Amino acid sequence: MAAYGLYTHIASNKFRSMLLLAGLFLLIYVLVFAGALLAEVLIRSDAPVDYYLRAASRDLVTAFPYATGAAALWIVIAYFFHQNMIDAVTGGEDVTRKQQPRLYNLLENLCISRGIPMPKLKVMDSPALNAFASGLNRRQYSVTVTTGLLQALNDQEIEAVLGHELTHIRNGDVQLMVIAVIIAGVVGFFGELFFRMFTNLSWNSSGSGGSSSSSRSSSSSDSDSKGSGGGGAIFAVIIAVALILLAWLLSQVVKLALSRSRELLADAGSVELTKNPDAMIAALRKIENRGELPGATSAVMELCVDNPREGFADLFATHPSVDRRVKALVQFAGGHDPGPLALPSDAADEPEDQQANPDQLPPPVPRGPWSDGGGPAAAGSADKRPGPSEGPWGRRS
Q: Which residues are catalytic?
A: 165
Helices (H), the chain: 6-43, 49-90, 101-114, 147-152, 155-170, 173-207, 209-218, 220-274, 277-287, 298-301, 322-333, 344-348, 376-380
Q: Please, which residues have CB within 8 angstroms of residue 312's CB and are 6 or more apart in sequence?
A: none
Q: What is the DSSP letter of 304?
A: B
d(CA 140, CA 158): 22
At 143, give phi and psi (nearest 5°).
-120, 125
C-alpha to C-alpha distances, 43 to 4, 160, 270, nearest whole angstrom: 56, 59, 57
The packing angle between helices 101-114 and 220-274, to 10°, is: 90
What three-state secondary structure class fits 120?
strand
Question: Concatenated DSSP letters for 45-100?
Answer: SSS-HHHHHHHHHHHHHHHHHHHHHHHHHHHHHHHHHHHHHHHHHH--EE--TTT-
Question: Concatenated DSSP letters for 1-42?
Answer: ----SHHHHHHHHHHHHHHHHHHHHHHHHHHHHHHHHHHHHH
Strand order in the sheet with 93-94: 93-94, 120-124, 142-146, 131-134
Beta partners for residue 134, in sequence order: 142
Hey, how many other C-beta atoms are within 10 angstroms of the C-beta on 344? Answer: 8
d(CA 356, CA 363): 12
